[in-house]
Amino acid sequence: MTQEILAPLDGKVFQLKIKAGDNVEEDQEILVIEAMKMETPIFVPCDGTIREVRVSEGDEVKENDVLAIIDE
């Protein structure tokens, strides 16, 4: 099963901690969005493998943009 990981808010990708093909564990931090002077970490909802990363560090993202796709 595939899940999209969405941006919860507008902001800039401050840190990217994964790449396609990485195995990740439920609730692992995969990237950080900077907005309104604060850093919001993004966690994966399940164990799986990162199929695709759609952002790079420094990218501006909008709320609900797809950040990455994970295969459970």
Partner 1 sequence: MRPYFEKMDEFGHTLKKGRIKSTEQNLNSIQKIEEEVAVEVNRVKLAGFPEEKINARGQMTVWQRLEYLVDSGTWCPLHTLYNPMNNEEGTTNVIDGIGKISGKWAVIIGFDNKVMAGAWLPGQSENILRVTDLSKRLNIPLVWLVNCSGAKLTEQEKFYANRRGAGTPFFRHAELEQLGIPVLAGIYGTNPAGGGYQSISPTILFAHKDCNIAVGGVGIVSGMAPKGKFNLDAAEEIIERAKQFRAKPPGSVSIHYDETGFFRYVFEDETEVLDGLKDYMKDMPAYPPKFYRVAEPKEPRFPIDDVYRLIPLNPKRVYDFDEVLARLVDSSEHMEFRPDYGPEVYAGLCKIDGFLVACIGNRQQYLGRNYPEYADYPGMGGKLYRQGLIKMNEFVTLCGRDRIPIVWLQDSTGLDVGDAAEKAELLGLAQGLVYSIQQTDIPMMLLLLRKGTASAHYLMGGPTANRHNAFTLGTAASEIYVMHGETAAVATYSRRLVKEKEAGRPLEPVIEKMNKLAKDYHEKSRPLFCAKNGLVDEIVPLGDLRKYLEAFAGAAYQNPKSICPQHHLILPRIIKG
For position 26 contacting partner 1 by CB under 8 A, the verdict is yes
Binding residue for partner 1, selected from 6, 38, 60, 71, defined by CB under 8 A: 38
CB atoms within 10 A of CB 36: 9
The number of C-alpha atoms within 13 Å of 65 and in the hemisphere containing its C-beta is: 17
For position 25 contacting partner 1 by CB under 8 A, the verdict is yes
For position 43 contacting partner 1 by CB under 8 A, the verdict is yes
Binding residue for partner 1, selected from 4, 28, 59, 65, defined by CB under 8 A: 28
Contact 43, 27 (CB under 8 A): yes
